[in-house]
Amino acid sequence: MKYRNDLRNVAIIAHVDHGKTTLVDELLKQSHAVKERGQDKDRSMDSNAIEQERGITILAKNTAVEYNGTRINILDTPGHADFGGEVERIMKMVDGVILVVDAYEGTMPQTRFVLKKALEQGVTPIVVVNKIDKPSARPEFVVDEVLELFIELGAEDDQLDFPVIYASALNGSSSLSDDPADQEPTMNHVFDTIIDHIPAPVDNSDEPLQFQVSLLDYNDYVGRIGIGRVFRGTIRVGDQVSLMKLDGTFKNFRVTKLLGFLGFDRVEIQEAKAGDLIAVSGMEDIFVGETVTPADHQEALPILHIDEPTLQMTFLVNNSPFAGREGKFITARKIEERLMSELQTDVSLRIDSIGPDSWIVSGRGELHLSILIENMRREGYELQVSRPEVIEREIDGVKCEPFERVQIDTPEEYMGSVIESLGYRKAEMQDMINTGNGQVRIIFLAPARGLIGYTTEFLSMTRGYGILHHTFDQYLPMIQSQIGGRHHGALVSIDTGKATTYSIMSVEERGTVFVEPGTEVYEGMIVGENSRENDLTVNITKAKQMTNVRSATKDQTSVIKKPKKLTLEESLEFLNEDEYCEVTPESIRLRKQILNKNEREKAAKKKKKAE
């Protein structure tokens, strides 16, 4: 069997923030793939504004470097389980993976998630222990932990024999020794290990073509772009080919453009052979998992599995009293067009219209959906969204719900409160490890609906010292009881106007206020969190009566507490089932679905009767 020894295809996988993207940047820099462009900013692979702000990778990116006459195609993958659909498909495109693990944190929930996907595809692993320069680094312990994880996930014997490189991607150094003093200012150890250990692709370019789409991109000029691997044969510009659709039908078209990758650039190429990773444009309705073959030899590759959504929200046209003030795109038609365009590239997303002005949007998790909402508001859209809800499924006649694997790192003193709070949310403790320095790591299996809104409670409970990670585990029989939810009611404005310092002072003793003086509010808008369980209507626009009588306390200045500003994620977590989050380019407001107090009370009574 012939092999293409001048080519290697490798993906970089890791838990969030363990240094994948920094490592890819350093490999690009040291292979001189980006020098001539003068583009030397940090984490240049994360091109999206939200990716750069949050330091996370949302979309898989591909690039390529040349090293000693070998082309290495590198795919940088997301670490968040919410974008796991991307990781799974990328494993089909490569022959090996580089697993990046933090030299102090070791294996984390998403390390487990991405490694499981890689081992299932039977690819060859290399382990890079990153951040070796950290004073708290414990490389020996971490390598043992990685080996245990490989065994636990059922790795084959040859996969267990993985090479380990110790590196500091930030400093651009690496070595084969776990002693930080032995670090050398080069990434050649990584390049050499890739060439020595990752199998070269099979060269069967003289057989009939098979090219499968694993990722989608979209461009206003050429439409959909299918990115994938040539598994067999050769594809050339001008070829007449068949696109084997997922439903078994096929479409014929002519290849108008082929693109290869080098550094940050997509380079136009005339042909690609077995083993190459390329992008093909010119097919309007190409979709992930579809195969391109010659018209006279239609043989489709197995369809790629795409993770099903586990969480859904209702998106609605904004109908609040302030609707249309701040957004550029506010109509149902514009919102629907934007949601449909998201489907062009995001295959884990589902959108169902449930009325002229509302849609059910289903995704892989809170982060997946909140990033879509954040992108929309930055682009000038105005909309309302409901509280996130888990998607239930019937499996073998049993009603099931998604469960998540939760990993918590917390100081010992908060351990009791954490266990108690998760017990209340019907989580089951699986493991507890004392990691030293007064820190404990606890693993739980928890129903996903119990984790909606938990992050804020967890952070206040652990005074911000706790770290919480969770990732989808499996569907299990549904727990027949109320889980989680908000413990406190809302402070709801009874009036429309501007919030005043005077009225905020009188409301403060009732709970936590979300607005500052001068903020415009409307009747039914949520202006704070009540310290008790019930909702409370408050007048936050009342001004102090002016009299000509001198006050005894005149010289005392009014001081109010700083209001609690909620981020988009915190706002979504705060929502109850009778509330909406109003999202505009300038504001995030919380509101009751029924704005009028009397109508709200009538609806609540009706609901109680029906129950």
HEC sequence for 296-323: CCCCCCCCCCCCCCCEEEEEEECCCCCC
Per-residue confidence (pLDDT) for residue 1, from 0 to 100: 78
User: Which of 424, 456, 477 is the endpoint of a domain?
Assistant: 477
Q: Which residues pair with 62 in a beta bridge?
A: 75
Would you say residue 359 lies in a domain? no
Task: Write out the two tokens for 572.
Answer: 């979504």
596 marked as binding residue: no
Residue finishing a domain among 245, 267, 294: 294
C-beta separation of 199 from 223 below 8 A: no
DSSP state of 456: H
Q: What is the CATH number of the domain that holds 13?
A: 3.40.50.300
3-state secondary structure 132-175: CCCCCCCHHHHHHHHHHHHHHCCCCHHHHCCCEEEEECCCCEEE
For residue 41, pLDDT over 60 is answered with no
Task: Check the annotation: does 576 bind a ligand.
Answer: no
Q: Is residue 586 part of a domain?
A: no
Task: Check the annotation: does 368 bind a ligand.
Answer: no
pLDDT tens-place string over residues 304-344: 777 778 889 999 999 999 999 998 999 999 999 999 888 87
Better-predicted residue by pLDDT, 58 or 243: 243
Of the candidates 83, 1, 75, 174, the residue with the CA atom closest to the CA atom of residue 371: 83
Give the lowest-confidence range in 80-84, 204-208, 479-483.
80-84
| DSSP SS3 for 272 | strand
More confident residue, 55 or 390: 390
381 within a domain of the structure (yes/no): no
Residue 91 forms part of a structural domain: yes
C-alpha span between 216 and 279 (Å, rounded): 9
* 126 and 26 within one domain: yes
> Does 334 appear as a known binding residue?
no
Does the annotation list 473 as a binding residue? no
pLDDT surpasses 60 at 38: no
The one-letter amino acid code at 325 reads R
Q: Is the pLDDT confidence value at 443 over 70?
A: yes
Do 149 and 257 lie in a common domain?
no
Of 172, 197, 222, which residue sits at a domain end? 197
79: in domain: yes
Residues 252 and 150 in one domain: no
Q: Which two tokens stand for residue 71?
A: 């082309």
Q: Are residues 112 and 43 in the same domain?
A: yes
Is 495 annotated to bind ligand?
no
86 in the same domain as 45? yes
The C-alpha atoms of residue 191 and residue 72 are separated, in whole angstroms, by 9
- 131 labelled ligand-binding: yes
pLDDT at 15 over 80: no
132 is in an annotated binding site: yes
pLDDT tens by residue, 566-596: 888 889 888 888 899 999 999 999 999 999 9
Q: Which two tokens stand for residue 5?
A: 């020894």
Separation of alpha carbons 375 and 379, rounded Å: 6
The token pair at 594 is: 């029924």
* Same-domain status, 12 and 138: yes
Q: Are residues 193 and 216 in the same domain?
A: no
For 79-117, b/e burial (b = at least 16 CB within 10 A) is: bbbbbbbbbbbbbbbbbbbbbbbbbbbbbbbbbbbbbbb
Which parts of 154-244 are beta strand (E)? Answer: 164-168, 173-175, 210-219, 223-232, 234-236, 240-244
Q: Does the annotation flag 133 for ligand binding?
A: yes
Same domain, 397 and 424: yes
Looking at residue 555, what is its pLDDT? 42
CATH number at residue 443: 3.30.70.240
- Residues 319 and 385: beta-carbon distance below 8 Å: no
The mean of the pLDDT values for the chain is 84
Say whether both 273 and 421 belong to one domain: no
- With beta carbons less than 8 A apart as the criterion, state whether 205 and 274 touch: yes
CB atoms within 10 A of CB 219: 11
User: How many structural domains does the chain have?
Assistant: 3
Dihedral sign for Cα atoms in the order 585, 586, 591, 596: negative
Q: pLDDT per residue over 134-175, tens digit each?
A: 888 889 999 999 999 999 888 888 889 999 999 998 888 999
What's the confidence (pLDDT) of residue 513?
92
Q: Supply the range of the domain harboring residue 464.
A: 393-477
Instruction: Indicate if 146 and 257 belong to the same structural domain.
Output: no
pTM confidence score: 0.78
Find out whether 519 is annotated in a ligand binding site.
no
Say yes or no to pLDDT of 192 above 50: yes
411 and 283 in a common domain: no
Residue pLDDT, tens place only, 346-397: 778 899 999 889 999 998 878 788 889 998 999 999 999 999 988 999 998 8
Query: What does DSSP say about strands 7-14 and 96-102: parallel, antiparallel, or unpaired?
Result: parallel
Strands 398-411 and 467-477: antiparallel
**Residue 350's CB: how many other CB atoms inside 10 A?**
15
The SS3 assignment for 373 reads: helix
Give the tens place of pLDDT for each residue, 245-267: 888 888 888 888 888 887 767 78
Do 69 and 174 belong together in one domain? Answer: yes
* pLDDT above 80 (res 37): no
Diameter over CA atoms, the chain: 99
